[in-house]
A and B are shown apart, each in its own frame.
Chain A
Amino acid sequence: MQQTRTMELGTGLFVLLGIGALFFLTTQTTGRNDFDADETFAVQARFENIGSLKTRAPVSMSGVTIGRVTDIQFDPVSLEAVVTFVIDSKYDQIPDDSDASILTAGLLGSQYIGLQPGGSSFFLEQGSEILYTQSAIVLENIIGKFLVGGRPEGDEE
């Protein structure tokens, strides 16, 4: 009987340890799941160029992650990228003339969407489209323009 107890104890410990490790790996080594909301609303935005933005990239405002990119499509008519992202429903007072830009975390980091608040008294809701957008800065373009003496695209405003 002693043997059975050792076995059960050992197996239990091992399985717990394994599941704990799995849990650690899936939650602590990836950075993209800090956004976790039960209720969200979907918003669209059109960009000329999304750079290397991927689905599941964060959407942030004032540096706080408030949503996540869920879908990226190419519109064959307007020849633009259509990005759909969801925002946590508790942020229901974001002005609908806010503008969205594709930014880069650090110099070579991954890309995310940053929202800048506008001044409208109407708010973003399910199905809204953000009209003011700014494309990703593509490093090659900047360097190219810099070399021929032009000003980088992103510097205009």
Chain B
Amino acid sequence: MLREILDTFLKFLRTFGAMVLFFVRVFLHSPAVFFSRFPLVIKQVYNAGALSIVIIMVSGLFVGGVLALQAFANLERFNAEDTTGIFAGFALIKEIGPVITALLFAGRAGTALASEIGLMKATDQLSAMEMMAVDPVRYVVIPRFLGGVISMPLLTAVFTTIGLAGAHVVAVEWLGVDVGAYWQQLQQALDMEDVLEGIYKSIVFGIIASLLAVWEGYNAIPTAAGVGRATTRTVVITAIAVLIFDFMITAAVSLR
């Protein structure tokens, strides 16, 4: 019994160690790869970012709208409908924008990254590169990682902006909040620091989501079932990691 627990623990420790070493390797080579293989990076910005833009925009619009609805319904009771903008803006910029974008990214781009790399492994493409004396980490993994890292803050910004527009449409056009009040209240309540908090979060989430996706793909068991499992794990692990980090960043910022 004790032996089994110890074994499980050691196995966990080994996986974790391998993960850290992999991450260090990815980080160390990233700057060089960014410059020497720029076209590959651009291609991955397209795959991870440009192809996610529609889902991000549609989601942003509706999330912004629903925030405005909820905020209005509650604020109305205190005759404070004018502050709907503050509520929607704060929520979108600091929390919901970065977090939902990261979750959508995990589902749309993260799974694509993991399954693509896993499939390349299953069809011996990674070994073939090794045999052609090309490091697959540098050729396959890092450009995808960088593509994700670059895309996430941009996607988050688009999500948040569209979200604000969605909230604007619901609050101003539909519920009749004064347009001046909506934006002025929002602008007065928000500091640059709040916007920066959202941007920092999106950068951190971009690194986490991209790293976990390429890790799962690179370490997938090279069979159809293994790749499928890696894809599922990518979404689950990324979601958990993003939410945990979100809590930690928010705590660090607000308890400062």
Contacts and interface: CB of A to CB of B under 8 A. Distances in A.
B82 to A, nearest CB: 10
Interface in B149-174: 151, 153-155, 157-158, 160-162, 164
Contacts of A33: 192
Interface of B is mostly: helix
Given A25-B157, A30-B195, A110-B188, A11 B49 contact: yes
B160 A21 contact: yes
Interface residues of A, number: 25
Contacts of B161: 21, 24-25
B199 A22 contact: yes
Contact of B188 (A10, A11, A56, A105): A105
B190 A17 contact: no
B187 interface: yes
Given A11-B42, A22-B154, A26-B195, A17 B188 contact: no
A29 B154 contact: no
A18 B57 CA distance: 11
Contacts of B188: 31, 105, 109-110
Interface of A is mostly: helix
A22 B190 CA distance: 15
B89 A11 contact: no
A24 B186 CA distance: 13
A144 to B, nearest CB: 24
Contacts of A30: 187, 190-192, 194-195
A74 interface: no
B50 A29 contact: no
Nearest to A10: B50
B46 interface: yes
Contacts of B186: 29
B154 A7 contact: no
A32 to B, nearest CB: 6
A15 interface: yes
5 contacts: A11-B45, A18-B157, A19-B154, A25-B195, A30-B192
Interface of A: 7-8, 10-11, 13-15, 17-19, 21-22, 24-26, 28-33, 56, 105, 109-110
